[in-house]
Homo-oligomer: A and B are copies of this chain.
Amino acid sequence: MGRNSDAKQRIIDSAAELFHSRSYANVGVQEICEKANVKKGSFYHFFPSKRDLTLAVIDHIWLYYNREGPVAKAFGKDVPPLKRIERFFLGSCEFQAQLQKEKGKVCGCHFGNLASEISSQDEVIRKKLDEIFSAQADVIENTLVEAVAVGDLREIDTKAAANAILAFMQGIILMAKTRNDARLMRKMAKAGIDMIYQSG
């Protein structure tokens, strides 16, 4: 029925990249359209508002994270549980370092950036990001539970620890972004990983 196009996806991809390298408020609908090679009228044909676009962007990135991105890459069961968490950190360091090379600056976490900027203003977006962080924490917790079962980790409050590990991840990314130095992130990550092993 009717014609079809990939304009919607182009808009999502463009917005994702622009939001990531700058911020939500500093990127206008106009600019997103230009990058996506789409007229503003088309934008509002696909999305009722900038907020709805943002929701779609978040969904899309989260899907990528799980299918082929950092989560998929790190948490494969081909290595022991704690090694997966280590891989999660190291992979993220790699990702930020890569972006620093390409764009000349550390861009931070897609989710963390949006969370910091918007979650105090838009409850719908906040909840979506809340869910994603919860899901991410669940993945980590399951890994910790496995580590306890295998005997690589003493019995701890895995839920709190998983949340703390995720927080640490967000923290080192934010610090790397502010210092504009991805190498520092690696050092902090290693210090954190050491601590996890230490408490094992």
**Which residue numbers of A lie inside 8 Å of B, CB to CB?**
21-26, 105-108, 112-113, 115-121, 126, 129-130, 133-134, 156-157, 160-161, 163-164, 166-172, 174-175, 177-180, 184, 187-188, 190-192, 194-196, 198-199
Contact = CB atoms under 8 A, between A and B. Distances in A.
A129 to B, nearest CB: 5
Contacts of A169: 171
Contacts of A174: 112, 115-116, 167, 170-171, 174
A134 B168 CA distance: 17
29 contacts: A23-B121, A25-B25, A25-B26, A107-B120, A108-B120, A113-B117, A115-B177, A120-B177, A126-B178, A130-B178, A130-B179, A133-B175, A133-B179, A161-B191, A163-B188, A163-B191, A164-B172, A164-B195, A166-B175, A167-B175, A167-B188, A168-B171, A168-B192, A171-B172, A171-B174, A194-B199, A195-B198, A198-B198, A199-B199
